[in-house]
Amino acid sequence: MKTLTSLLLATLSFAAGANAQGGDIVNNGAPARRATEAVIWGIPLVNYDRMLQAAIENGGAPNQVIYWSQPVNSKNQTLTPNPDTIYLNPFYDTRKGPVVLEIPPAGDDGVIVGSVDISWQNALIDVGPAGADKGKGGKYLITPPGHKEKPPKGYIVLPSDTYLGFVILRSNFKSRSPEDIAAAVAHGKKIKFYPLGASPDSTVFVDVHGKDFDSTIPYDLRFFEGLDRMVQIEPWQERDRLMIPMLKSIGIEKGKPFHPDGAMKKILGEAIKDAHAEITASYESNFADAFYPGTHWAVPVPQDTIKGMNTMFEDPDVYAIDGRAVMYSIAYFSPKHLGPAQFYVLTIKDGKGGAFDGKETYKLTVPADAPAKQYWSVTAYDAETHALIKGMPRASRASNVKELQKNSDGSTDLYFGPQAPEGKESNWVPTDPQRGFELMFRIYGPDPAFFEKKWKLPDAVKVEN
């Protein structure tokens, strides 16, 4: 995939030449290229907007805590969510002033892990045992862009580059028993989230479990509508000012309504298809750099993108937005530090290099003694949407599932397919015979042995009939 800078410069040069010659820019295709690059550049913002709009559609609002009172099921159509935890997502809006987030201490009654992200989904900080409060709990103050007032004492201050953002929090449970899940929910609801100066007890919790919560990326006109909504609210980042004329040429401009005519709608529709194809091709090519040599498991996001997301792209010579587009086409949020609290690897192919087919059955053997302080899990996602496979009774199996069968050597065989192998129902994740799928392995509280590759996850293999 070409870099944004090279394409933008080429587009600007082309447009200037067309103008000088009296050419028709629309017919020459400049808006189409600009729209394609707007998609690649703007995916993190639209990804965030999709989550916020889903929260609002389900009765929530900014400066409230959206949460799931049970592990998520396929009605949750966020990108690659974790079905083996309790999610709490405060959405912040600092346009009227700073917002306070209080995290309770970790203890025998529960632990919360997570990150505070701006609307671009760069992390301001991690919270919990591997975060700034070190598991002791703390009060975080999120301040708006340009905020100058001296903060009260006792807060961990987080100056946000954007007015909007969100917090992803996970309250982990010890097992999937009703009692342990209820305890994780109760511990999660110890968090407080409120405008500075208001009472902590004013925190509003909105339960969206069992409701349709769709924040998948829409590769149609809705994408540009969401992008316009965010451009109207958020201040320009210095690194992004080149996008001002680019967006204006496709009808997105601060302070003006976005009303594309029929011709522009056609251009935008074709452009987003092209962008989707580019992003998908890049995603698939990124698996060539395997996490475990000789397997198909990988972190399909380039390291310069991961580094940039963690540092607010502080290196002026590197702006890895192509990889960022891949990242936010398949997932949401970024931690400040990937690794200490959790880590993820994905695979889209079996041991023989074939794409996962929902009508086939595959076996994945998770070796014994996984280097996880908390737990590991494997989740199946729809290969096209990167969300949970719709209509399935469950989406994952995890080491905190008490009924999980283990082999005599301590390893665990997991099965993915349309029907459970006989006697293996407890170790089975169902798939849709009409859909392809992909797998994500999560490890929470990874030990050094995980990164040293002393423990290796093999490929899933197709079970031959």
Asked which of 164, 184, 211 is the last residue of a domain, the reply is: 211
Q: For 127-170, write each residue's pLDDT tens digit.
A: 999 899 999 999 999 999 999 999 999 999 999 999 999 999 99
Q: For 90-140, write each residue's pLDDT tens digit.
A: 999 999 999 999 999 999 889 999 999 999 999 999 999 989 999 999 999
Q: What is the CATH number of the domain that holds 394?
A: 2.60.120.600
The Cα 264–Cα 278 span in angstroms is 21
Q: What pLDDT, on a 0 to 100 scale, did the predictor assign at position 160? A: 98
CB 411 within 8 A of CB 419: no
CA distances 449 to 56, 336, 399, Å, are 42, 21, 18
The dihedrals phi and psi of 277, each to the nearest 5 degrees, come to -65, -40
Query: Residue 407 pLDDT more than 80?
Result: yes
**Judgement on whether residues 299 and 178 belong to the same structural domain of the protein:** no
The Cα 264–Cα 376 span in angstroms is 47
Q: For 165-216, write each residue's pLDDT tens digit.
A: 999 999 999 999 999 999 999 999 999 999 999 999 999 999 999 999 999 9
Query: Residue 312 pLDDT more than 60?
Result: yes
Residues whose CB is less than 8 angstroms from the CB of residue 147 and which lie 6 or more positions away in sequence, other chains included:
94, 98, 159
Average pLDDT over residues 422-447: 96
Q: What pLDDT, on a 0 to 100 scale, did the predictor assign at position 338? A: 81
Average pLDDT over residues 354-366: 98
Q: What pLDDT, on a 0 to 100 scale, did the predictor assign at position 235? A: 98
Asked which of 164, 190, 211 is the last residue of a domain, the reply is: 211
**Judgement on whether residues 123 and 188 belong to the same structural domain of the protein:** yes
Helix (H) or strand (E) holding 374: strand 372-382
Strands 205-207 and 64-67: parallel
Residue 26 — pLDDT band, cuts 50, 70, 90? very low
Average pLDDT over residues 433-462: 96
Q: What pLDDT, on a 0 to 100 scale, did the predictor assign at position 339? A: 76
Q: Which residue has the higher pLDDT, 23 or 47?
A: 47
**Judgement on whether residues 453 and 325 belong to the same structural domain of the protein:** yes
Query: Residue 3 pLDDT more than 70?
Result: no
Q: What pLDDT, on a 0 to 100 scale, did the predictor assign at position 7? A: 47
The reply to whether 66 falls in a domain is yes
Average pLDDT over residues 382-390: 98
Both structure tokens of 213? 């919560």
**Judgement on whether residues 8 and 77 belong to the same structural domain of the protein:** no
**Judgement on whether residues 309 and 221 belong to the same structural domain of the protein:** no
Q: What is the CATH number of the domain that holds 99?
A: 2.60.40.1610
Comparing CA positions, the residue from 400, 403, 406 lying closest to residue 365 is 406
Round the average pLDDT of the chain to a whole number and report it: 93
CA torsion 457-361-213-178 (nearest 10°) is: -70
**Judgement on whether residues 457 and 354 belong to the same structural domain of the protein:** yes
Q: What pLDDT, on a 0 to 100 scale, did the predictor assign at position 52? A: 98
CA distances 183 to 87, 167, 190, 209, 364, Å, are 13, 21, 11, 16, 31
Q: For 230-277, write each residue's pLDDT tens digit.
A: 999 999 999 999 999 999 999 999 999 999 999 999 999 999 999 999
Rg of the Cα trace of the chain?
23
- Within 13 Å of residue 11, how many CA atoms lie on the same side as its CB? 25
Q: What pLDDT, on a 0 to 100 scale, did the predictor assign at position 340? A: 80
**Judgement on whether residues 299 and 267 belong to the same structural domain of the protein:** no
Query: Residue 283 pLDDT more than 70?
Result: yes
Burial (Cβ within 10 Å: 0-12, 13-18, ≥19) of residue 83: buried
Q: What pLDDT, on a 0 to 100 scale, did the predictor assign at position 101? A: 98
The dihedrals phi and psi of 93, each to the nearest 5 degrees, come to -140, 110
Helix (H) or strand (E) holding 160: none
**Judgement on whether residues 119 and 261 belong to the same structural domain of the protein:** no
Task: Name the residue with tokens 């502080």.
Answer: 314
CB 78 within 8 A of CB 390: no
Q: What pLDDT, on a 0 to 100 scale, did the predictor assign at position 464? A: 87
**Judgement on whether residues 236 and 128 belong to the same structural domain of the protein:** no
- Single-letter amino acid code for the residue at 360: E
Residue 406 — pLDDT band, cuts 50, 70, 90? very high
The Cα 445–Cα 88 span in angstroms is 19
- State the first-to-last Cα distance of the chain, in angstroms, to the nearest integer: 40
Average pLDDT over residues 282-310: 95
Instruction: Kindly write down the DSSP assignment for every residue of 68-104, as one continuous string.
Output: -SS---TTEESSS--TTSEEEEEEEE-TTS-EEEEEP
Q: What pLDDT, on a 0 to 100 scale, did the predictor assign at position 25? A: 39
Q: What pLDDT, on a 0 to 100 scale, did the predictor assign at position 22? A: 35
What is the DSSP code (8-state) at residue 254? T
- pTM (2 decimals)? 0.92
How many residues does this entry show for the chain?
Answer: 465
The reply to whether 328 falls in a domain is yes
Q: For 39-73, write each residue's pLDDT tens digit.
A: 999 999 999 999 999 999 999 999 999 999 999 99
The Cα 312–Cα 315 span in angstroms is 9
Structural domain count of the chain:
3
**Domain range enclosing 247:** 4-52+217-272
Q: Angle CA(210)–CA(213)–CA(219) in degrees, nearest 5?
A: 150
Asked which of 211, 232, 248 is the last residue of a domain, the reply is: 211
The Cα 253–Cα 224 span in angstroms is 12
Residue 320 — pLDDT band, cuts 50, 70, 90? very high
Both structure tokens of 62? 């900014």
Task: Name the residue with tokens 């997105």.
Answer: 252
Residue 12 — pLDDT band, cuts 50, 70, 90? very low
Tell me how far the alpha carbon of residue 255 is from its chain's centroid: 29
3 state SS of 306:
helix
Q: What pLDDT, on a 0 to 100 scale, did the predictor assign at position 71? A: 97
Buried (b) or exposed (e) across 273-295, using 16+ Cβ within 10 A? eebbebbbebbeebbeeebbeeb
The reply to whether 175 falls in a domain is yes
Residues whose CB is less than 8 angstroms from the CB of residue 277 and which lie 6 or more positions away in sequence, other chains included:
none
**Judgement on whether residues 120 and 244 belong to the same structural domain of the protein:** no
Helix (H) or strand (E) holding 60: none
The Cα 370–Cα 454 span in angstroms is 10
**Judgement on whether residues 165 and 46 belong to the same structural domain of the protein:** no
Q: What pLDDT, on a 0 to 100 scale, did the predictor assign at position 72? A: 97
The reply to whether 279 falls in a domain is no
Q: Angle CA(124)–CA(76)–CA(36) in degrees, nearest 5?
A: 65
**Bridge partners, residue 363, by sequence:** 415, 461
The dihedrals phi and psi of 374, each to the nearest 5 degrees, come to -110, -75
Residue 425 — pLDDT band, cuts 50, 70, 90? very high
CB 432 within 8 A of CB 391: yes
